[in-house]
Structure 1
């Protein structure tokens, strides 16, 4: 295994998002992420408030997504989501994906039944840069980030490419998925 990162704020980890040349792909598998930069906004969402300024997503859009898209790079992700949707996934759709998609990120959703999964797809998150640099993302049971690890094993990189392709064909574009909910992802609705 390669270099590990124990913080999402690590400058070397963040450099991966500016240094890739063509594509950055993310597989998301969790139904709840407990990341520090979303805590206040998630609480507002759960309280039924309208989306206001969301610094964590604004930083992602302005610092990563828009510059990549302007440079002709592709940023895309697939989130495997269990139905009925968790409150966190509703929050992520309404307060994050709506805005990252508008900025040019290709977000896709692969809905599955509760307790089900896509056959052959791993049950963990990863980033794949330029189809050749694999970074696995590890989280605690409560969704808090634990560590990211660069994987140097070529066989694992090839598998990650296969999983990416499988997830892409098993998913639908975010906006298509969102139409099923009439654009409303309020807490407690599924």
Structure 2
């Protein structure tokens, strides 16, 4: 069995585009940043929290090479606490890093063909699937460069992106 490249390795090699489709309503509910948010800590608009600095560096490297990083989130409404946390931290984490982020209410995605797992697609050539247990904990990742899988993920992301609402326009229910 071949060794799977890590997310960081794939993003470091990315030249043109990295897209991420998130379809769950909760992830890693024991994340210290989420727990701090649940305890009332909120990001300061315009700040660059220390915990996000590695993300700024990784995304910034793609942007500096002329690439783009886009993230689309399919969410149930009313949104979960975890999705509210993501929404509240998107400006200081994702947008500040250089990502474009959009939100699609799940009821507007019913007729879209979507892969069964969240994924990253790098340079329209390799897909990194993220697998989670029922509680949102990451269990493993695997990659595919199969042209049919890449095309499914590329098409799914673009279909979601077309319908999705830009972060600064989205008002969660």
TM over 0.5: yes
Structure 2 unmatched ranges of 5 or more: none
Aligned length: 169
Structure 1 unmatched ranges of 5 or more: 6-11, 182-189
Matches within 5 A, 1:4-83: 4=4, 12-34=6-28, 39-51=31-43, 54-61=49-56, 63-83=57-77
**Residue 161 of structure 1 aligns to a residue in which SS?**
helix
**Residue 143 of structure 2 aligns to a residue in which SS?**
strand
Matches within 5 A, 1:106-185: 106-113=100-107, 117=110, 119-177=112-170, 180=171
Pairwise CA distance, 1:41? 1.8
Alpha-carbon contact 2:112-2:156 (below 8 Å) kept: no
Change in 2 beyond 3 A, CA 1:145/1:30 = same
**Residue 85 of structure 1 aligns to a residue in which SS?**
coil
Pairwise CA distance, 1:35? 6.9
TM-score by length of 1: 0.79
Pairwise CA distance, 1:118? 5.0
Change in 2 beyond 3 A, CA 1:92/1:13 = same
Structure 1 residues 51-78: Cα deviation after superposition (integer angstroms, max 9, x where no partner): 37744422111x2112221221100011
Pairwise CA distance, 1:134? 1.1
Alpha-carbon contact 1:2-1:151 (below 8 Å) kept: no
- Give the distance between the partners of 1:147 and 1:35, measured in 2 at CA: 17
- Give the distance between the partners of 2:141 and 2:159, measured in 1 at CA: 23
Structure 1 residues 148-190: Cα deviation after superposition (integer angstroms, max 9, x where no partner): 111132211111111111111121111111xx26xxxxxxxx4
Change in 2 beyond 3 A, CA 1:4/1:164 = same
Instruction: Report the RMSD for the aligned CA atoms in angstroms.
Output: 2.4
Cross-structure match for 2:95: 101
Of 81, 84, 92, which aligns to 2:86?
92
Alpha-carbon contact 1:107-1:173 (below 8 Å) kept: yes
